[in-house]
Chains A and B, each alone.
Chain A
Amino acid sequence: MRLTFLHTIFFSFLLLQQTQALKAQGIVDYKKVLAEGLLPGKASVMLLSKKGFFYLATSKGLFLFNGITLQPFNAIDSAEKNITALYENKEGQLWIGCSNGSLYKLQSNKLVAWKPAEELGKKSISGFAEDEAGNIWFATKGEGLYILHQNKLYNINTDDGLSDNYVYDLQFINNQIVAATDNGISICNFVQQKKSVKNLSAANGLTDNIVQTFAPDSKNKNILWLGFQNGGVGLLNFKGQQSETIYTSPKGSPINKIFSGDKELWLATDDGLAIINSTAYTELLTEPITSLSGLYADNEANIWLLGSAALYKTKGEQLRLVLLLTDEENNQVHDLLVDANENYWITSKAGVLCFSKKAGNHFNRTYFPLRVKKNSDIICLYQDVNGIIWVGTMGDGIYLIDPLKKTIKQITDVPNLKNASILSITGTKTNVWITALEGVWKSPVSGSSGKKNYTFNNINIAQAIGSTYIYYVLEDSKNRVWFATDGKGITVLENGAFNTFKENDGVAAKVIYSVLEDRNGNIWFNTLNNGIYKYNGSTFKHFGITTGLPDLNISALALTNKESVFCSTQKENFLIDITTGRITLLGAANSTGKMNTDLNSTFSNGKNVFFHTSNGVYAYHSPEYNKVQNPQTRILSMSLFLKEQDETVANRFAHDENNLSFHFAGFYFSDPEKVNYQYKLEGYSNNWQATKDGFVNFPKLPSGGYTFKVRSSVTGNFEDADEAAYIFNIQKPFWRQWWFILLSITSVTAILFYIIKAREKEVKKMQQLQTEKLQSQYETLKNQVNPHFLFNSFNTLLSVIDEDPKKASDYVEHLSDFYRSIVNLREKDIISLGDELKIIEHYFFIQKKRFGNALHFVNPITEEQKLGFAMPPLCLQLLAENAIKHNIVSKEKPLTLSLSIHDNWLVVQNNINEKQTIEKGEGLGLQNIKNRFLLIAEKEVLIAKTHDTFIVKLPLIKLL
């Protein structure tokens, strides 16, 4: 492992040789994102939307800018729009102002003209603002200001005291509306329809009356920075309303836009970009960019420069080349140091260079030569509490430089240290720690400066650790001492005991480069090819490729001004959030030149992290307005059958509205190309799907409740990614809706109930029929066993026997047939007409023997009819018997019973010759017939009686 380190030094030396040809770049690196030709029309204004993307307006309309490309927003009307102003109000409503005075609102991603009843003027719209009451103000170039209050438009112009009707800029600052005009600054209020205007002009100390732009100070709301047409920049204090000029642009070119950052003012002028220190008012940079009109910071603290024909991206205040080194200076730089007085120290060939700030970007350069052996390297720098600079060398031990007295002294009186090869020098307020190939020394330092004699205690670690190859020592705030070893991992000295963390403690790495304690007391260490570890006092957390690390070989760690650890690899720098562990890549590499890959060649003074590259020394800090470290995921639109839906559409869909698609984006302006997505549709699949496209389509979704979730990342680690969701519901078809199912069950039940009821009725009817039949049988039997009938029959038989025995036997046959028929047929519900007629014929045969020609029976029924109809049994016999019973049957007054069929009716009629003595009859027989026909034929028996005829009409049942 010894070789590895030596190789590193050798390797970096070679790199320096190669990069000497590279030309040093400017202190602010800017990159053209949208070049000439990619911007449609003339760019005018940008706005960072609350949704995370930029609106970019040009003379050809409005566009969405995602960091890479422009996507147009369409308008309801087709007129081309030369947009001059944009504003997003508190509710996220975008207002758009045009050069012809017209106004638009963005509704459902479309530009919709806004036309008040008062109508709008023709003067160009130059700005918008929203006051506390929510009134929208807009400024015009020629008609002053307009206020939209409760759907009415009010105007403020010179008649109301406005300094001028030509207004350049409008903002709501410090609870008042501030307008920049051709004649100074106007501070306006509109309360209860009362206007008030207060003007500040040259008479109040403004350098120029033409105020083209202004910006509130990022920290002090009472301070306003003014940009004048004559190229001056003024400071206006609201409190005392005093104004002073702090700067004038080099060529006196008009100030078009001011951005107030943490420490700097950025100015967009007709000639380009100027950056000035906002406290010292010193110019830090001027950069020529043709007609630069806008400066816009995103939430990642990048600053975008909008020219009329191109758009540029910068890292803004985050990254600054603080020390540009010449090729000669940038030779064998192995370590850097920023001392307590903000002087820059770098190691050099056979010496140390100190750069102390003179003015602006100019430095006084001091060289401290060290009498070192030929080919020896100067390895490390450290400043102790006394202000003494410690210098570690390869083979010549330690040198101490007193920067005030400008003295150099080599430590020669400590054995082994004099010719030691130093790897690192670290320390606390009380101790300085030195690691060398020869061992580890601890040197107590006291707070009293000027002390000449240092003592060095050699720490015998070979026994405790088993290695003397220590890259780095850290004494932490809890008085623990951490040793970063080459080959033995990480070892801690706590309460006099050494403890080396092993693999089962959670540390797999064997080569540890350095150790760092963050502000929360966590211990961090970087390794060779094993990433980074964080120790919170009880457990180790490992950061590797799966947690989003871009590289496993981490050369240095440093603390940033915020809650994160700055990490360097051979290719790039990145941040790890101290609490969440989220990794933030600091954007495109190479823009800062080739990284110095020497171990620990970064330095942090708490405010900035300094690192060295082939260009020089860079400072990184995270500005206050850096609010976002990872891609912001947004669902941009939802489409049904690929047709974009209105934002206001309810998220409930019918069962056949089941083809949904989503456009989404992860806005990350620092490195937009690296954004990757994962999405899932909960309710359909619970697995995240990876994609690079900002679009997904779900065809033929079954009904149900869904949540579409999407998240984005640039590191490949989605654990802590920003997530966007859309909840929706596809309803079941109506036949699977609860109400339909309920309705169906109810209907089926009702039908069943009805069938059962009908069946019950039928059964009841059958029972009744049965009763009636029994009644009839009883009636018939009663009649047939009527003793009169039998007596009469026997009397007849007796007389016939004497006259003609042959006829007598006929008679008995008929009599027996008659009774057999009755017995056989009485059980049946219906019998054929033929069978019924047989019975009546037998009956009449018997009766005719008795009455002879006094009784006639007319039967014209055909054979066909006999078979074609049916009826309840024994009805005719009953009717015939009734007829004989109630009427006189004699030669003088014969009784004729005749049958006939008319339209399925069997007509039974007999002539009436009523007996004087009416035979006893209950009329039960006739009623029984009626009931049986009603039950079986479901028709009434019709009974008619004229003065001489008795007619009964029986409804026959037609057989097939």
Chain B
Amino acid sequence: MKFLPSLLLSFFLMAGSEQSKIYTTNTGQMRFRSEAPLELINASSKELKGAIDASKKTFAFRIRISSFEGFNSPLQKEHFNENYMESVKIPEATFAGKIIEDLDFSKTGTYAIRAKGMLTIHGVEQERIIRSDMEIGNGFIKIKSSFIVLLSDHNIPIPRVVKEKLANEIKVELTAELIQK
């Protein structure tokens, strides 16, 4: 994804420079739920990293897969990391792209926006349009979003044995507060 390296690179470079148009976070929260007929899996992470470049309307987010906690059992977490997400081989999931709406970041307020970009999970890219609520404040941007990820879209196989325990539709929710650099 063309945005991702440049943007992440740029916000590291920009760090320290005053009044940039870049908003970042390292502590965004992400939660997912799998509601299979036999088992409910719930896990969350507070290590969502992200940046929004208000001047270009571009954004990039990434999360370390192994940072998800709160599984039903340690064994389940192990399965999640080793069998499904292969987090050693593919440690991160990313979403990077551009906001469709024309936004004036200088105006504070709450906006419903749509983010168009590449969602990369398990190393498989999927183009997605994800709607999000965005609150633009003085020096910060709060985002809140929920969306569905289909395991089949990202080549995450569900063994037949656990079909009743793992849903193909994973509900993902995220909240983050990005601070202007």
Contact = CB atoms under 8 A, between A and B. Distances in A.
Interface of A: 117-119, 121, 142-143, 152-155, 157, 159, 193
Interface stretch (B4-12, B42-50, B127-135): B127-135
A119 B114 contact: yes
Contacts of A121: 100-101, 114
B129 to A, nearest CB: 4
A118 B128 CA distance: 8
B100 A117 contact: no
Given A157-B100, A159-B98, A118 B127 contact: no
28 contacts: A117-B147, A117-B148, A118-B114, A118-B128, A118-B129, A118-B130, A118-B131, A119-B112, A119-B114, A119-B131, A121-B100, A121-B101, A121-B114, A142-B102, A143-B100, A152-B128, A153-B129, A154-B127, A154-B129, A155-B100, A155-B116, A155-B129, A157-B100, A157-B116, A159-B98, A159-B116, A193-B126, A193-B127
Interface in B88-142: 98, 100-102, 112, 114, 116, 126-131
A903 to B, nearest CB: 70
Contacts of B148: 117
Contacts of B114: 118-119, 121
Nearest to B2: A159
A540 to B, nearest CB: 71
Given A121-B114, A157-B100, A193-B126, 11 more contacts: A117-B147, A117-B148, A118-B114, A118-B131, A121-B100, A142-B102, A152-B128, A154-B127, A155-B100, A155-B116, A159-B98
Contacts of A154: 127, 129
A157 B129 CA distance: 13
Contacts of B131: 118-119
Nearest to A116: B129
Contacts of B100: 121, 143, 155, 157
Contacts of A153: 129
A157 B100 CA distance: 9
A826 B147 CA distance: 102
Q: For the complex, would chain B's binding face be called helix, strand, loop or mixed by DSSP majority?
A: strand
A143 B147 CA distance: 21
A121 B101 CA distance: 8
Nearest to B129: A118
Q: List the 3 shortest-distance A-B pairs measured between CB atoms, nearest first.
A: A118-B129, A119-B131, A155-B116
A103 to B, nearest CB: 14
A659 B45 CA distance: 63
Contacts of B126: 193
Nearest to A117: B148
Nearest to B147: A117
Contacts of B98: 159
Contacts of B101: 121
Contacts of B102: 142
A153 B114 CA distance: 12
A154 B128 CA distance: 7
Contacts of B127: 154, 193
A160 to B, nearest CB: 9
A37 B98 CA distance: 46
Nearest to B131: A119
A25 to B, nearest CB: 51
Contacts of A117: 147-148
Contacts of A143: 100
A157 B127 CA distance: 13
B14 to A, nearest CB: 22
A193 B118 CA distance: 12
Q: Which of B101, B102, B126, B129 has the most CB of A within 10 A?
A: B129
A737 to B, nearest CB: 41
A118 B97 CA distance: 15
A159 B127 CA distance: 13
Nearest to B57: A159
B103 to A, nearest CB: 12
B96 to A, nearest CB: 12
A676 to B, nearest CB: 53
A670 to B, nearest CB: 47
B76 to A, nearest CB: 28
Nearest to A119: B131
A472 to B, nearest CB: 73
Nearest to A158: B98
A117 B114 CA distance: 11
A465 to B, nearest CB: 85
A193 B130 CA distance: 17
A392 B81 CA distance: 101
A154 B118 CA distance: 11
Nearest to B116: A155
Q: Which of B100, B101, B147, B148 has the most CB of A within 10 A?
A: B100
